Structure formats: C-alpha cells, structure tokens
Structure 1
Amino acid sequence: MTVRNRRVIGFVLVVLVVVVAAGAYGWSEYDRSRQARTTATDVDLVPADVTVTGERIVFRSTAPGDLYGRVATVAADDPGGPREVAPVACDRVDTTGDRTVCLRTDRGVVTTFEAALLDANWQPTRSWPLPGIPSRTRLSPDGALVATTSFVTGHSYMSTGFSTETVIHEIGGRDYGNIEEFDLLVDGEKIAPVDRNMWGVTFVDDTIFYATAQSQALGHTWLVRGDLEARTLSVVRDGVECPSLSPNGSRIAFKKDVDDGSGVHWSIAVLDLASGEETVLGEQRNVDDQVEWLDDDTILYGLPRDHEPGVTDVWAMPAAGGTPEVLIPEAWSPAVLRQ
C-alpha cells in the first residue's frame, strides 16, 4: 500500500468518525428534545371542567413538557396561579376573547409558517400562509382587523439587512395588504426610502393604528401613525420600535435603543401622546418584545431565562417606572382580556 493510499484511507476514517459522532450528537439532541416535549408539564392546571372567565390573560406557555407552546389562560387577579390550556399551539397570540389570532410554525419536511383565526372554542375559521418566521400580531379592539408581521429574511431586529412583511386584513372583508406600500410622510412630505421595513402594529380603532417604520439607509426608526383609508403612514417620532397603545389611548410604550456605542440595547420607554414627554423605565435587561398593557398603569413584556433555552417569563412593571417583577412564569406573548 502506497503512502498516498494510506493517507486517503486515514482521511476517510476520520470523516467517518466525524459523521458518526455528529449523527450520535444529533440523535441525542433530538431524543432529549422529544423527551422534554413528551414529559408532563410541571405547572398547576385548572380542572378539566373549569373555564377561566372574567378579567384574564391569554398567553403562550413555555413551561417545558408536553404542553410547551400551547395557548393558556390565567385569571388576571391570580396570574401565577393555575392555568387553563387550550388545544392549540402558537408562536405568537393575540385575542379579544371571541376571536384569536395565532401565528405558528409547522416543522414538517419543509418548514412553513401560518396565521390562523380561531373562534371562542379555539376552532379555526380562517388561515393563510406567512412568508417567514412569525414575529408580531395584533387584533383591533373590536376584533375586526388583524395585523401580522413576519421576517422574510434574518431572524431578529438585531440582524443587519433583515426584511419584514406587515399585512393588515379586515376579517371577512377588505385586505389592506403590506403596509410597506402605504405613503410614508415626514412633516407632510412624501418620502420613499427603498429599504423601508414596517412592523409592530398597535390599533387605535378600525381605521387608525401606530407602527414602526425603519430605513437603515436613512438611519431612522420612526413611530408612525397609519390611516387605512388614506393609506398613509405619518411620522410621529424618531427612535421608536414596537409601539403598544395604552387602554385609554393616552400613552404608547415602546422599545428604545439606549446603547451609546455601536451596539444595540433595548430598554422600555413610555411616550405621553398629548405632551410628547418620554420616560425611559428602569428595566436594565435587553427587552426584545412588543409590550402589552395590563391596565393603564402597568406594562407587560417577555424575557428569556438565562441557561434555560426556550423558557421565558412575562414580567410586569409600572408604566411610571419602578421595579419589574415576574407576573406569569414560563409564559410569552400575553394578551389581556378586560371586562
């Protein structure tokens, strides 16, 4: 056997060892994940014949186990208490009670993404494909409109060169399409940045909404006020991402980049729409979420747990500033149902 042949055989053996090792690791990770998803979830559940009513919070459960990813409900006055679990799984969820929008991922042979509308009994009434990874969704206060945001490329707003698609549908009626196609107005003048991205819709009513508009080329991330009938997006303020309108419509909570350097660190800020006064709250951790309002005085947001991949908690903090606290453990994407 020549030296060259011995080297070829040695190389093939090394490749085989690497392939076998990689396969064994892949199988062990798959098996670990499968066991984690089939093990009973260790959270308190309400009895099967009990329905949570009254003021309540609907969310995505991230407790490890067989109920991971399922939509769950807790009483607003006992958010850390027993949860009712629905028979559907979602990546993002919003609800008015009678109607729920669910963004989800189907990890089949080919991974696909979908938005589904569900009735009060969690039965699907309509669904449509999404072009990429689910990111944000909101229903209008009366449930007549639904907005969805998906990543077309990239995996988060931290990515450079990411692209989003944000679409608004009137349920059972008009399709307003991608709001990127609306006219973008700055001080009443139309501009047309070629790299614009839109996301984070929050509805005022069935005509007016707020959202994020960004142009990386121009170096701006704006809070915009959208008008569905006029098909316009009017810039309200710079430096605002993922707005969320308070129940009384007087304030908007949002993500704000507070990093003075070249990096990105999102804190939470609250804008008073009447006075224009902005207050940056005391949350020191990086918050990559569109916040929800528990009431006019308290905001909710999700944060991942350190060293527990896939597990998140919903935190609460006074909108005037204060100490954040865990409101719902092992939860994500909260939607508050008020009476």
Structure 2
Amino acid sequence: MTGTGRPARTRLLLLVLAVVLLAGGATAYTLRAAGHATAGRTSTAAAPGFTLEDPAGRLYFRDTATGRVARRDPAAPDGRVAGGPVCDRFHAAGPTALCLLRRPGVPPRSYALVLDRNLRELRRIALPGIPSRARVSASGQVLSWTMFATGDSYATSAFSTRTSILDLRTGYLVKNMEQIPLTLGGRRYHAPDVNYWGVTFARDDNRFYATVATDGRTHLVEGDLRAWSARAVRENAECPSLSPDGTRVAFKKKVSDDPKAPWRLYVLDLRTMREHPVADDRSIDDQAAWTDDRTLAYGHEGALWTVPADGSGRARPLVSGASSPVVPR
C-alpha cells in the first residue's frame, strides 16, 4: 500500500506543478503579447512636437530606416528629423495628412490614417492589399489612395489595384473608382479589366487626373467628381502628378519593354498637350511630387532625387534612405 501510494502522490504533485508552471508561462506570454501589441499601437504615432507647422517649403518624407515620417533639416544629424508617425506611404496638404500603414499579422492588415496638421489621428479605415500611392488635395478636403490587390509592382502585368477617394466635407468614401463612367476614344467604355491608380487633384477639389489601364494599355484620364465621370486624354501615361498651378502633369511614360527599366519621367503641358522628358534618363517608378511650380522630387533606388520640371539641368540627390516626398502647403 505504501509502496504504491508514494509514487502516485509524487506523480500527482508533479502534474500539479506542471500545470502551475504552464499557466504561469501562458499568463506571462499573454502579458508580454499584450504589452507588445500596446507598444506597437502607440509606437506608430508621431512624437510630441513633431507637426506639419514648420517653415514653408520644408520637405517631408518617409524615413526608410525608421519607417517614420521625417522632415528635412540641414541643422539636424543626418540632415533630418524623424519624429512623425509610422507610414508606408505619406502625403499632406492644407490641414490634412494621409498615412497608409501596413501592420504585420495573419493576415497582414493595412489602414488609411487621416491625420491633422499636428499628425494626430482623426480617422482610421481598414483596407485590403498593399499600400501603393497616397494623395491629398490642396485644400486637404479630398483624399485618395491606391492599394495593390494582387502583385506588388507596376512593372509586371500580374497586378490589380483598388483606388479609393474620401471626401472629408461629406464623409463619403468611394471604395473603388472602377465604377466611375469612363469615356475612351470619344465613346463610353466598358471592360472588366479597367484598373485605376495614382490620383492627383486640382485646386477646385473636383477635377482630378489618374491612370487607367485596360486592354494592355495605360491612359491619362481627366475626371470630374461632381459629374462622376472620367475621360481619357492621353495614352501611355502613369502615376500623374498635377503641378501646383494646375497647368502641367508629371507622369511616368513607358519607353522600353525591359521589365527592369521600362519608364522615364515626363511632363505634359495641359494647355498645348505637348510633353517632354526631364533630365533624368533612369527608369523612375514613382508618383513624382512638385516641391514648387518648377521642381520635381521622386524616389529612386531607396533615395529621393530632384530635377527641374522644364527638362533643363540635371537630376540631383536630395535625401538618402527616403520615399514619399511632399512639401505641405
């Protein structure tokens, strides 16, 4: 009796101890996970004092090393201050900033964060896909973003995008622009492969330009939000960016079938419909930003570059380890 009872009691004690240890470990893991989740949420916000209220003409961008929005500051170490929110794509104008954020998980999650001039979150919208392009109208009242639904490169044909427009004046969200009536070649056009991306807004918050792809071709389209319509105005134009004075559009044009270097950056005069390349013959895969009415900034191979918009001069390095350039106005 004694010989059989002692091992049984020992096994019971070991079992109880194992349960206690496992429960403690699970509790500790849960607390650690909760702590990490909380830290992850809070760490995406801007640091206190980092706002868009800096001197006019200051360049903001996404700092590659930290993932945070930074501003160019020649007096700071490395020429930048990276205290903004964590974003994958960023743009700002007027009283509003737009941050596209992709968070890890199973499955990964993406969000459009609407921010004020102090970079405080006003609204969060869950999104499917991978962040690609972000734009805010000059007034800060109309926003657009493009997400990759499949694929992650414009250099391949195996991609699909979903482009949305949010009107902050009404709160109305267009989840997918593909429903907008399209005129192509002077006729109303219908096709299942119509794909929009890369919106840029005029100062009136109504007219916009965007890329439409269909039947293996890309087109620059001019759109009217109030009339809810769009018409193609030029073929072979992607990722348009309207100049501050509304007279020109910078865009990337396909000039080669080489999938590693298919594009070159061009500027189109909307009054004459004449185009010219800028003084950078490299393949630029970006939606260029106008830092003023004469100058463009864009990303290439992990850095920001600048070039005159009129085709003169030469491309110059602007900021290393950066993307999503914008000069908030």
TM-score (norm 2): 0.79
Q: What is the aligned partner in structure 1 of residue 59 from structure 2?
A: 57
SS of 1:118 mapped into structure 2: strand
Q: Which amino acid aligns with 1:315?
A: W
Aligned-residue CA RMSD in angstroms? 2.4
Q: Which amino acid aligns with 1:196?
A: V
Percent of aligned pairs with the same amino acid = 40
2:227 counterpart of 1:237: no
1:215-261 per-position Cα deviation (integer Å, ceiling 9, x unaligned): 1xx23200000111111110110000000011111111100111167
Partner Cα distance (1:78, 1:282) in 2: 29
The partner residue of 1:326 within 305, 311, 317 is 317
Q: What is the aligned partner in structure 1 of residue 86 from structure 2?
A: 89
SS of 2:324 mapped into structure 1: strand
The partner residue of 1:193 within 174, 178, 191 is 191
Which has more radius of gyration? 2
Q: What is the aligned partner in structure 2 of residue 30 from structure 1?
A: none
2:285 counterpart of 1:288: yes
For this pair of structures, how many residues does the alignment match? 278
Partner Cα distance (2:126, 2:79) in 1: 33
The answer on whether the counterparts of 2:96 and 2:141 sit within 8 Å (CA) in structure 1 is: no
Shift of 1:325: 0.5
Shift of 1:123: 1.4
Q: What is the aligned partner in structure 2 of residue 212 from structure 1?
A: 211
The answer on whether the counterparts of 1:243 and 1:255 sit within 8 Å (CA) in structure 2 is: yes
The answer on whether the counterparts of 1:253 and 1:269 sit within 8 Å (CA) in structure 2 is: yes
Point out where structure 2 has 5 or more consecutive residues left out of the alignment. Answer: 1-48
The answer on whether the counterparts of 2:94 and 2:140 sit within 8 Å (CA) in structure 1 is: no
2:132 counterpart of 1:132: no
TM-score (norm 1): 0.76
The answer on whether the counterparts of 2:94 and 2:138 sit within 8 Å (CA) in structure 1 is: no
Q: What is the aligned partner in structure 2 of residue 250 from structure 1?
A: 247
2:305 counterpart of 1:315: yes
More moved, 157-166 vs 136-145: 157-166
**Once superposed, which parts of structure 1, at least 4 consecutive aligned residues long, lie more than 3 Å away?**
77-82, 260-264
Q: Which amino acid aligns with 1:212?
A: T
The partner residue of 1:164 within 157, 161, 164 is 161
SS of 1:255 mapped into structure 2: strand
Q: What is the aligned partner in structure 2 of residue 73 from structure 1?
A: 71
Shift of 1:279: 0.3
Q: What is the aligned partner in structure 1 of residue 265 from structure 2?
A: 268
Shift of 1:84: 2.7
Shift of 1:78: 8.2
Go from structure 1 to structure 2 and tell me whether the alpha carbon gap of 1:290 and 1:236 turns closer, same or farther (over 3 Å shift): same
Partner Cα distance (2:191, 2:277) in 1: 29
